[in-house]
């Protein structure tokens, strides 16, 4: 504890000694030296003991506490330099130039901090996203679990995990990214989205019956979600310019070289996307297995001929055999 106050006590003692010497032998330089040491002692008391020991320690978030501590250290040095210059530089023009240099250095040193601070204010005021939203920021996707004045913390999704599953990592994103980048919010004002399943069907299958069976399954399983999504979209139309969207399931057909590709489009809740796709895929497979005239397609290769083969100088073609050695 005494070590933390050693610098302060030393500055106070030095200021007192300079005051005594200046009192006995008045001198302008001694007077400025006294003012300088006294000012440094006061600034040290304010920043190192009041701010760091009292205020910063009350900040619970470790990353915010660290950022503010670094900021206080930078401001501490800037204020020290500014005060010393103000004491020793008498020319007003030189003083303004010195302050301009200090301001430029401060702006460069703290530009990222200022950007993050302003970004945090914008997030809180405009509600771009809030805790609990599923967002994608700077190509990082996850659920927002914390927002402070400088950083946003996500429970990361994606990466090595397929589907909308959490990886378990916490991703810390500076709030300044919202000033120059885009933010994808999956749950702001509307917690539903469209999803698709691709199913390949052979050309010799009854594709009309396949469409009927698939639509029957998807409508049955997503009917309630589609109804809730339609009401949610109706609310969005009052707030945004949003053309009317179809929420009913649909099957879109595309012809390929090998099969008929069925793109099945349907509505799902954002947080249930993977589970809904899994359930629908299983039910669609069950329906296809029950039908004799519908088959799933896969990549196949038809071999239509063989090249001629020469062995030991003898030509082999269809019906030829290799002569035996005597």
Pairing of strands 192-201, 260-269: antiparallel
- Choose among 83, 177, 44: nearest CA to 122: 177
pLDDT for the residue numbered 286: 94
* Total-model pTM: 0.61
Structural class in CATH, domain 127-185: mainly beta
Strands (DSSP E) contained in the chain are 134-137, 140-147, 151-157, 166-174, 183-185, 192-201, 250-255, 260-269, 309-311, 314-316
Grade residue 104 by pLDDT with cuts at 50, 70 and 90: confident
Lowest mean pLDDT among 11-25, 76-90, 168-182, 199-213: 76-90
200-230 pLDDT tens trace? 999 999 999 999 999 999 999 999 999 999 8
Query: Would you say the C-alpha torsion 263, 266, 269, 274 has a positive or negative sign?
Result: negative
What confidence category does residue 326 fall into, taking pLDDT thresholds of 50, 70 and 90? very low
Domain 192-290 has what CATH class? alpha beta
- 66 pLDDT above the threshold of 80: no
More confident residue, 2 or 183: 183
pLDDT at 110 over 70: no
Name the pLDDT band for 289 (thresholds 50, 70, 90). Answer: very high
Give the domain ranges of the chain. 2-109, 127-185, 192-290
Contact predicate 324/243, CB 8 Å = no
pLDDT band at 79 (very low <50, low <70, confident <90, very high): confident
Radius of gyration of the chain (CA): 37
Q: Given pLDDT bands bounded at 50, 70 and 90, which one contains residue 155?
A: very high
Q: Can you tell me which residue has the tokens 């601070």?
A: 117
Q: 250 pairs with which residues across the strands? A: 265
Check whether 283 has a pLDDT greater than 80.
yes
Nearest Cα to Cα of residue 134 among 82, 187, 94, 199: 187
């Amino acid at each position: 504890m005494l070590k933390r106050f050693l610098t302060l006590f030393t500055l106070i003692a030095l200021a007192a000694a300079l005051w005594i010497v200046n009192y006995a032998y008045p001198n302008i330089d001694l007077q400025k030296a006294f003012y300088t040491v006294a000012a440094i002692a006061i600034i040290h008391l304010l920043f190192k003991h009041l701010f760091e020991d009292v205020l910063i320690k009350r900040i619970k978030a470790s990353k915010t506490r660290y950022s503010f501590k670094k900021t206080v250290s930078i401001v501490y040095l800037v204020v020290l330099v500014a005060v010393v210059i103000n004491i020793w530089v008498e020319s007003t023009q030189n003083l303004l130039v010195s302050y301009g240099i200090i301001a430029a250095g401060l702006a460069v040193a703290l530009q990222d901090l200022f950007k993050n601070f302003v970004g945090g204010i914008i997030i809180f005021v405009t509600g771009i996203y809030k805790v609990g939203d599923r967002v994608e920021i700077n190509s990082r996707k996850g659920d927002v679990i914390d927002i402070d004045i400088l950083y946003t913390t996500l429970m990361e999704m994606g990466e090595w995990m397929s589907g909308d599953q959490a990886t378990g990592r916490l991703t810390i994103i500076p709030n300044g990214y919202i000033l120059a980048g885009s933010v994808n919010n999956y749950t702001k004002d509307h917690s539903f989205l469209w999803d698709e399943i691709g199913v390949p069907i052979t050309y010799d299958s009854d594709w009309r019956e396949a469409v009927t069976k698939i639509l029957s399954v998807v409508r049955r399983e997503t009917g309630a979600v589609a109804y809730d999504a339609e009401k949610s979209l109706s609310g969005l139309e009052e707030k945004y310019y949003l053309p009317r969207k179809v929420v009913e399931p649909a099957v879109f057909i595309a012809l390929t070289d090998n099969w008929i590709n069925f793109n099945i489009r349907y509505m799902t809740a954002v947080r249930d996307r993977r589970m809904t796709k899994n359930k629908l895929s299983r039910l669609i497979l069950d329906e296809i297995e029950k039908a004799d005239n519908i088959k799933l397609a896969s990549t196949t290769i038809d071999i239509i001929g063989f090249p001629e083969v020469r062995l030991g100088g003898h030509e082999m073609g269809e019906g030829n055999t290799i002569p035996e050695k005597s």
